[in-house]
């Protein structure tokens, strides 16, 4: 039932992606009133941008000062419920562990050279009130509005999910990963920490492991169709790539729209209409579909649209 959206400016410009994602999410607000969030890849920071959820049981100003003391912070601001830091280059996993050691209720929401995730409990309109999302510029982004069906409603369980420990990788998901508990037990035995009881969290962890094995984002998403069971559609992106994957049973809708200069993906066409000008081309992604597009920053030549890694349909 959740709403998922993604948008890529194929010109490589730093456009008003925040406003576009917010507009897409607001059209899908009825699919998930419990929480909403966006992951946006903007201009490169002079280091890493870190978004942190501070705890609820201690003085927030004390926690903020403790976090700032951890590194040679170049900038620190408290925006809504999240602390935003800019720090020198560091290993994302080690930095997250150090920050979260401050307290069990402190959580790193995202780390990246370009990625920032903001999310909150409530409808998508609250993203504008709390974070001014419409003012944020970037090349691409993901968004999610959630209806909780199995796990509690709070900021941690909200999406997008950062692939914890891997800079600039995030996902949004609609559906169910039915072998989540088995995979979680395997990963926990290997030392992986989980932050929620939300099955969507497993996707980012899975993709991050595949990227560390040397696969591209497209290769990792292709492999996920073999290793993740269930009915699902998900979007994933890094600072360099943007893509989607759809389960073998084709039970969860996913529509792809392309126009001159932009690609939009969502699970209802009304969101595409909010993002793209009249005359865009739309199609529904088929069973076992995986498509990835390289992000065309200004220094790179523009591509020709989403590259289909696989788009096979099961025989009836």
Active site (catalytic) residues: 2
Q: For residue 191, how many other CB atoms are within 10 A of its CB?
A: 6
Q: Identify whether the C-beta of residue 8 lies closer than 8 Å to the C-beta of residue 267.
A: no
Q: Identify whether the C-beta of residue 108 lies closer than 8 Å to the C-beta of residue 52.
A: yes
Task: Determine phi and psi for 149, rounding to 5 degrees.
Answer: -115, -25
Q: Positive or negative, the Cα torsion across 141, 231, 31, 156?
A: negative
Task: Decide: helix, strand or coil at residue 31.
Answer: helix
Tokens representing 31? 């699919």
Q: What angle do CA 181, 96, 74 make, to 5 degrees?
A: 155
Cα–Cα dist 105/162, whole Å = 17
Q: Pick left, alpha or beta for residue 47 (phi over 0 → left; psi -120 to 50 → alpha; otherwise beta).
A: left
Among 210, 196, 263, 258, residue whose Cα is nearest residue 235: 263
Cα–Cα dist 246/36, whole Å = 22
Question: How are beta strands 35-41 and 115-121 bridged, if at all?
Answer: antiparallel
């Amino acid at each position: 039932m959740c709403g998922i959206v993604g948008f890529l400016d194929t010109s490589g410009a730093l456009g008003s992606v925040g406003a576009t994602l917010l507009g897409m999410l607001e059209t899908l607000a009825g699919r998930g009133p419990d929480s909403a969030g966006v992951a946006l890849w903007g201009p490169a920071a002079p280091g890493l941008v870190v978004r942190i959820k501070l705890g609820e049981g201690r003085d927030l100003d004390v926690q903020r000062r403790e976090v700032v003391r951890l590194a040679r912070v170049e900038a620190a601001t408290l925006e809504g419920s999240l602390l935003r830091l800019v720090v020198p280059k560091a290993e994302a996993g080690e930095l997250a562990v150090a920050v979260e050691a401050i307290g069990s209720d402190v959580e790193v929401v995202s780390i990246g050279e370009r990625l920032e995730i903001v999310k909150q409990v409530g409808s998508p309109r609250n993203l504008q009130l709390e974070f001014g999302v419409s003012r944020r510029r970037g090349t691409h982004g993901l968004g999610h509005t959630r209806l909780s069906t199995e796990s509690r409603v709070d900021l941690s369980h909200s999406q997008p999910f950062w692939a914890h420990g891997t800079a600039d990788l995030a996902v949004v998901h609609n559906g169910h990963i039915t072998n989540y508990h088995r995979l979680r037990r395997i990963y926990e035995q290997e030392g992986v920490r989980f932050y929620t009881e939300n099955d969507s969290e497993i996707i980012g962890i899975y993709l991050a492991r595949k990227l560390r094995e040397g696969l591209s984002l497209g290769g990792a998403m292709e492999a996920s169709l073999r290793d993740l069971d269930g009915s699902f559609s998900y979007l994933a992106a890094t600072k360099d790539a943007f893509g989607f994957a759809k389960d073998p049973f084709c039970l969860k809708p996913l529509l792809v729209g392309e126009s001159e200069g932009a690609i939009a993906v969502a699970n209802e066409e009304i969101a595409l209409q909010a993002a793209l000008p009249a005359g865009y081309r739309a199609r529904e992604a088929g069973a076992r579909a995986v498509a990835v597009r390289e992000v065309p920053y200004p220094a790179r030549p523009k591509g020709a649209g989403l590259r289909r890694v696989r788009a096979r349909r099961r025989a009836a």
